[in-house]
Structure 1
């Protein structure tokens, strides 16, 4: 393993994960613990069967080690770092891949001091593909997601819930104004939470769904959701990143069933938009990324810039991209930067305490693009970069 700190801007190999893993639909799939280590919990294998394995990354040595497993194997769950340093894992679904989904109502908490997982109560409503956001008062807001409607269909959820680590258990929160799943959510500097875009089930058939453009904000002081500006185009599989000035950058994603003109567009969006809270929650178009992508990752660097990396085509989903691009909030321009050694989608990415960026796992190829035509070809590789 090379020392990436000697070659800024270049990706270098870090130790492999203990296993190959697809990390789709998991909000905050990797969390940085107070001691600088990184935790990944759950996910799916190449057959999309939920897994209970956990792994810990040691940035001092660039290596991964296995942690104690989750009590319940789960994927499409959320992983949230609590204010007290513990980690909350919520919902998802367990077992082999199935349609419609069979979501979980359980939650677990990880204690880094002991390395143990313990039960964290049951949600009022089972869900997967939801968002989970840490609030300023230490509670966690879980919102939306997908649930089972019947033996042959799914439904998207309006409901939201709150987890209080000081009073273990779940309390109902105000409902969202729009049902949605697989949506990003970000904590704003003023204490509110912004959600924008995502996916909603639109037909009884479990295959039916559409991307959304609607946005709304949750105010924990009043326990209410308020509509805010809509994205210029529907997006799912996109990323939201809070910038230093409190605005929010939306990148990539796709529209599932077709473009605004009704024609099928198999490619992902290269467009980016920026949301300004002081301007009535208005979204403005930014300069386009060098290429379109979905199921990518976006992180804010210590410089205030945003690094977007990996991803793939929204509908074709045939390959993971190696490419990366850097966004400057001051100039509002993108710059192509060195790509990863391994192209990947549905992977984990996190900024370490020393400013390096860590990526791990994910899908390299899927469907006919795999050597055997299997559903997914995964990777256990991880990489580090200084930017």
Structure 2
């Protein structure tokens, strides 16, 4: 009753999927280091593809393991197993179990575990019976099951009728009930049941199998499946999202035509095969892959590069873009971004190194903000627009660097959220490929938004004064990290002591320096300058504060101004040193002290166009 309930619900949910033709385009992918056909391609947790088993050029045994990186740009060798015709599966914990195979023409029982995270390999318990060309499927409990396969060392007539179950914790294989079939295709259904279909039976002396078995991991028992109609080989068997399985195409034993177009559905609830619509093209040696929305893409086959898609909602096939070139006995795998990768196979009679990548039509994603590229804002409003209405989009689909997001609102094609920077520097919010999809199954394309946060105001430094002539001195004012300098005379404070007077002015342009000049200096005292707040602004909008007071000049009637430098840390404060001379630092210190004393009884007289402060 429970199985009927979830299966009915799944079928109803899939009924909303329309029968649209798969949209997108194929391109050539990176070639493998060596040719490969009749292999397996396993999707790893990091998004890479692992290719094991199969044959190479001129049907030579292939013992190497290859990996296509998640970026789909290059292949790398992983290991040479020293045996060919292995079968493998990805366990629930992400490790890869590789079983059996052939070494120098002899079937072996050896098994290995590969950990993609560490890159390590280790031998595990061997099978009870050497075998090759068998079925290997992962189970929900973290283990695996091996079914059938060829077992003899001298030829290919003997097929195993045994089932073995692997326990990775105990590192043991257990022999279970004899099976009624020996090889072909396998599929793990949604509820953990594994079905094995086709191949060659031990009783039929090499003819195509007419049925298969159903293995239930709950009780460890297997039983016969209903016969296919008609019996076929070189077909595809795909587990569906609703718990059923699709068998498509194949070669009919004894028939004059090399391929057939028929397809049928296995329903585990009623344990029967049901016909579905036939493919537009007869195929054998083709490949199939389950799409994210529950449909199935089939492509290739004998002398074919075409492709078509089957929908569980309508039981109908629709055309899809064909591959760049024909191939058979290859693999199709769905990777990140709902891209499809076709790997190897036979092309024009021999194994090929070629790959092809299908990129589906994507929904454009635009991330924007009213806040400029460089900002000092504590929060940044963000809008996300998709070129089509989507569903399933949430905060979990937003990745943030140097910040956090909250308050996601909206729906359909338009969303909004708040981005809170964690500190100064680049703040990036990203929507990954495939974050959401529309009702037709088109996935969103990735996009990102970056803002640079800067909360530090421009700094101001006033250089040493330059004495121009008897009545004139000037100071260079440097602005660091300023996008705009707004320095006016009102923001220049002239600091005077004693009776010193003068007229200030500002000159210069650009965003890095200004010159403050004091002319017509007269009287007796000192003159320095300081820049008041608000004279510069950076790209983020931060406004400068006040500068420190500049180095002063001493003003004397009838004499040129004298720069008053701070006394050196090791300068003598006496009028004479051991040599009887007067040190420069001590002499200027005495002058400064005298002028400061004069300033207490005098007033400053400046041009009305300058700001002045009496000392």
State whether residues 122 and 170 of structure 1, in contact with CA within 8 Å, keep that contact through their aligned partners in structure 2: no
The alignment status of 1:165 with 2:121, answered yes or no, reads: no
State whether residues 134 and 148 of structure 2, in contact with CA within 8 Å, keep that contact through their aligned partners in structure 1: yes
State whether residues 68 and 116 of structure 1, in contact with CA within 8 Å, keep that contact through their aligned partners in structure 2: yes
Cα distance, 1:246–1:161 mapped onto 2, change above 3 Å: same
Structure 1 counterpart of 2:606: none
SS in 1 for 2:83: coil
Map Cα deviations across residues 220-276 of structure 1 (whole Å, 9 max, x no partner): 1122211112212x423x2222223322222222237x52xxxx564x233232222
State TM-score, norm by structure 2.
0.45
Gaps of 5+ in 2: 1-16, 313-615
User: Which has the higher Rg, Structure 1 or Structure 2?
Assistant: 2
Within 5 A, what are the aligned runs for 1:3-42? 7=19
The alignment status of 1:199 with 2:150, answered yes or no, reads: yes
State whether residues 90 and 108 of structure 1, in contact with CA within 8 Å, keep that contact through their aligned partners in structure 2: yes
The alignment status of 1:327 with 2:284, answered yes or no, reads: no
State whether residues 197 and 231 of structure 1, in contact with CA within 8 Å, keep that contact through their aligned partners in structure 2: yes
Structure 2 counterpart of 1:235: 182
The alignment status of 1:226 with 2:174, answered yes or no, reads: yes
The alignment status of 1:76 with 2:26, answered yes or no, reads: no
Within 5 A, what are the aligned runs for 1:52-201? 60-61=23-24, 63-97=25-59, 101-104=60-63, 106-113=64-71, 115-123=73-81, 125-127=82-84, 129-148=85-104, 154-201=105-152
Gaps of 5+ in 1: 13-58, 149-153, 364-377
The alignment status of 1:214 with 2:162, answered yes or no, reads: yes
State whether residues 325 and 336 of structure 1, in contact with CA within 8 Å, keep that contact through their aligned partners in structure 2: yes
Cα distance, 1:92–1:332 mapped onto 2, change above 3 Å: closer
Structure 2 CA distance for aligned equivalents of residues 287 and 93 of structure 1? 32
SS in 1 for 2:223: strand
Structure 2 counterpart of 1:255: 201
The CA deviation at 1:119 is 2.4
The CA deviation at 1:132 is 1.3
Map Cα deviations across residues 173-196 of structure 1 (whole Å, 9 max, x no partner): 211111111111111111110111
Cα distance, 1:223–1:208 mapped onto 2, change above 3 Å: same
The CA deviation at 1:202 is 4.1
Structure 1 counterpart of 2:575: none
Dislocated runs of 4+, deviation >6 Å:
none
Structure 1 counterpart of 2:191: 245
Structure 1 CA distance for aligned equivalents of residues 253 and 169 of structure 2? 37
Map Cα deviations across residues 140-196 of structure 1 (whole Å, 9 max, x no partner): 111112232xxxxx2112111121112224221211111111111111111110111
SS in 1 for 2:88: strand
State whether residues 79 and 132 of structure 1, in contact with CA within 8 Å, keep that contact through their aligned partners in structure 2: no
Structure 1 counterpart of 2:211: 271
State whether residues 120 and 169 of structure 1, in contact with CA within 8 Å, keep that contact through their aligned partners in structure 2: no
The CA deviation at 1:122 is 3.0
Structure 1 CA distance for aligned equivalents of residues 256 and 62 of structure 2? 24
State TM-score, norm by structure 1.
0.70
Structure 2 CA distance for aligned equivalents of residues 161 and 330 of structure 1? 35
Q: CA RMSD in A?
A: 2.4
State whether residues 102 and 147 of structure 1, in contact with CA within 8 Å, keep that contact through their aligned partners in structure 2: no
Structure 2 CA distance for aligned equivalents of residues 286 and 91 of structure 1? 27
Map Cα deviations across residues 1-20 of structure 1 (whole Å, 9 max, x no partner): xxxx7548xxx7xxxxxxxx
State whether residues 103 and 147 of structure 1, in contact with CA within 8 Å, keep that contact through their aligned partners in structure 2: no
Cα distance, 1:7–1:75 mapped onto 2, change above 3 Å: closer
Alignment partner of 1:287 out of 213, 220, 226: 226
Cα distance, 1:252–1:190 mapped onto 2, change above 3 Å: same
Whose strand fraction is larger, Structure 1's or Structure 2's?
2
State whether residues 92 and 139 of structure 2, in contact with CA within 8 Å, keep that contact through their aligned partners in structure 1: no
Give the structure, 1 or 2, with the largest relative contact order (CA under 8 Å, sep 6 or more).
Answer: 1
Cα distance, 1:265–1:216 mapped onto 2, change above 3 Å: closer
SS in 2 for 1:288: coil
Structure 2 CA distance for aligned equivalents of residues 183 and 320 of structure 1? 23
Structure 1 counterpart of 2:367: none
The alignment status of 1:380 with 2:305, answered yes or no, reads: yes
SS in 1 for 2:218: helix
Structure 2 CA distance for aligned equivalents of residues 107 and 215 of structure 1? 26
The CA deviation at 1:95 is 2.1
Map Cα deviations across residues 260-311 of structure 1 (whole Å, 9 max, x no partner): xxxx564x233232222232x2212333333212222111212211111112
